[in-house]
Structure 1
Amino acid sequence: MDWLEDVIHYLTAQGLQITTAESCTAGLVVSELVSVPGSGQAIDCGLAVYSPEAKNRYLGVPYEAMSRDGLTSEATSRAMALGALNNSAANLAIANTGIAGPKPGDDGTPVGTVCLAWAFRHEGRVYVTSETQRLAGKRNEVRLTAAHQSLSRIPDLHRRVCDGTISPL
């Protein structure tokens, strides 16, 4: 729990407010954040957008892009993060999509494949970064690990945005 408290302290100290667009984790990122007392000031909203229709309706992710790039892809997770950022008052959006199991995806994507994305609004510009991870464990272990990975990477990625290591769009 200490590391989660550290993330909340970082968010509040840096004036970051978060929104999420969660597919694979279905709300676990926000759930983990709110387990820390006082976290509410760092959270704008969280969306569980499981279906392609929800990703399109709430985040504006084009069906063509999901079809072309796949539902479990960095391109889709980046579009989700941007959609969440653009549809909220937050200055940080976390998005994820993946295959937690128990079976591989319809396209053969292996269980444990998770695509994470972070979008930041900083000094009037937007920055997006993403990564694909292969996580071990059963379904709920994959989901929880993905949620924790999403949160634990915030300080490092935010510092990289601030120092210019991550380029704006």
Structure 2
Amino acid sequence: MELLEKISEYLKKHELKMATAESCTAGLIVSELASIPGSGQSIDCGLAVYSPEAKNRYLAVSFDTIESCGLTSEATSREMALGALDNNDANVAVANTGIAGPEPHDGIPVGTVCFAWAFRHNQKTYLMTETQRFSGDRNQVRLAAAHYALELIPKYHGEVLAGNAPSVDEA
């Protein structure tokens, strides 16, 4: 609970309003944050988008990206985060797509999750992506991924504030 309280306080302190675009966590990122009283002022929305069609419809993820890079890819998570940032009243968006289990898919091991964090600051958009692998059963992977996504918001937002994060035009 301490992690979630710290993240909620960080979002409030920095006047960040979050949107999530979640595939393998299916809304768990926003749900975990919402478990903290008062966190609602920092949440705009949480989208659970599993299918390629939903990713395209709600977030403008390109079918070409999905086909060429795969559903579980940093390229797909990048487009998900940018779509969530652009289509909502948020200045931070967190996205993920991955394989929670129970079986590997397209040669990608269970526990593989691709993340993206997008920030709008001083009329510029910044974006960071990474891939992690978590162990455990399906729900353990989902919870670990949700907490990881939240945990890195202060780190990446700090890089934006320090001028050390790439803007989308530079990424």
Normalised to the residue count of structure 1, the TM-score between the two structures is 0.98
1:130 correspondence with 2:129: yes
Paired residue for 2:100?
100
Show the counterpart of 2:46. 46
Unaligned runs of 5+ in 1: none
CA distance in 2, matches of 1:79, 1:62: 8
1:69 counterpart letter in structure 2: C
Aligned to 2:23: 23
Amino acid across the alignment from 1:118: W
**Aligned residue for 2:82?**
82
Question: Per-residue deviation at 1:2?
Answer: 1.2
Q: Deviations 1:124-152 (Å, cap 9, x if unpaired)?
A: 00000010001111000000000000001
Q: What is the total number of aligned residue pairs between the two structures? A: 168
Which residue of structure 2 aligns with residue 149 of structure 1? 148
Q: How far apart are residue 61 of structure 1 and its match?
A: 0.3
Q: Which amino acid aligns with 1:87?
A: N
In the TM superposition, structure 1's runs of 4+ consecutive aligned residues that sit over 2 Å from their partners are none
Instruction: Give me the identity figure in percent.
Output: 62
Aligned equivalents of 1:23 and 1:121: distance in 2?
A: 22
Q: For the residues of structure 1 that align with 2:3 and 2:147, how far apart are their CA atoms?
A: 10
Residues 37-69 of structure 1 deviation map (CA, whole Å, 9 limit, x = unaligned): 001000000000000000000000011110000
Instruction: Give the unaligned 5+ runs of structure 2.
Output: none
Q: Aligned letter for 2:164?
A: T
Tell me the equivalent position of 1:59: 59
How far does residue 165 in structure 1 lie from its aligned partner after superposition? 1.1
Report the aligned-residue RMSD. Answer: 0.5
SS in 1 for 2:149: helix
**Distance (Å, rounded) in 2 between the aligned partners of 1:97 and 1:36:** 24
Equivalents in 2 of 1:3, 1:45: separation in Å? Answer: 20
Determine the C-alpha separation between the residues in 1 that align with 2:67 and 2:4: 35
Instruction: Output one character per residue of 1:96-134: Cα deviation in whole Å (capped at 9) or x when no partner.
Output: 0000000001x1111010001100000000000010001
Cα separation, 2, equivalents of 1:65 and 1:4: 33
Structure 2 Cα separation of the partners of residues 2 and 142 of structure 1: 19
